[in-house]
Structure formats: structure tokens, C-alpha cells
Structure 1
């Protein structure tokens, strides 16, 4: 659940939210809420071990990378559209 949200929402969050720090915080809040629900859902059988937390940490890192990538792509697009190509005289 958390991994799917990270993959689907990471790049768009970075692309659509102009402030990179705000985009990272928003993504962290969404992933943390989903992580709490997911951990409660799978934790009742005492099946959570160290690898579960490693996977979650990697998921957060991938999501942060996607947010940064989306922000970079958005900034490049804005810069390209704000500075028109010089015309010949």
C-alpha cells in the first residue's frame, strides 16, 4: 500500500507543489498515515520483523527521490517557458 502510493504520488507531488520542502513534507505525511494503517493491518500476527522496516525506509527514500525529480522537472519546464528564445533582428 505504501509502496504503491509512493510510486503513484511521488513525482506528481514534486511537480505540482512549487515548494520542494512542502512537497517532501506532504509526501511524508501521506506515507506515514498509510504506513500506520498498513502496520496495524499486518501487525496483528506478529509478522513484522526488521526487513519490514528496511523496506519502508527504502520506500521513503524512493518517494523523496521522486519528489525531488518532479520538482526539478517542473522548475526546468517553468524556466523554459518563462525565457522565450531570442528573436532575430
Structure 2
């Protein structure tokens, strides 16, 4: 599938970030994005959602952190009732 990583598609390559902390200072020139972006084939796009949980184990009291990743084809999502409208308004 085509990669639609937020950092790469919205702010440019991670190498363009300079400075400390979230956001940094971006020095890349975004005035002409047409030279960077290629057309995206919707049939190859997946929506990635992570579900993260914290659970306390009953006997030891230790805390367990888990991550479950869901990858759903965009074509499957648009067939669900009301989902396209909710995605467009997000």
C-alpha cells in the first residue's frame, strides 16, 4: 500500500525538522507541493488505527501495556453507512 504517514504528507520529510521539542522548526519550502506528491491510488490506501490499553495484572499488580494495530482498506470503509461523511467532516 501507498504510505500516507502524517509527517511525510503534511510536513515533508522528517529530515526537514530542526530544533528541539514537538514541531521543531521546518525549513523545507512547501510553496510547490506538486513536485513532491504523486497521485494516490485509493485502492492502495489503508487507514491505520491503534488501540492502546493499560491493564493491571491481578496477582502481581504489574501494569501491562498493549498495542493492537488495525489496517483497514479505504475501499472497505467507504462502503460502511455514514462513514464517508464522518471522515470528510473530520
Same fold per superposition (TM over 0.5): no
Q: Between Structure 1 and Structure 2, which shows a larger proportion of strand residues? A: 2
Q: Report which of the two structures shows the higher radius of gyration computed on alpha carbons.
A: 2
Give the TM-score of the pair, scaled to structure 2. Answer: 0.29
Q: Between Structure 1 and Structure 2, which shows a larger proportion of helix residues? A: 1
Give the TM-score of the pair, scaled to structure 1. Answer: 0.29
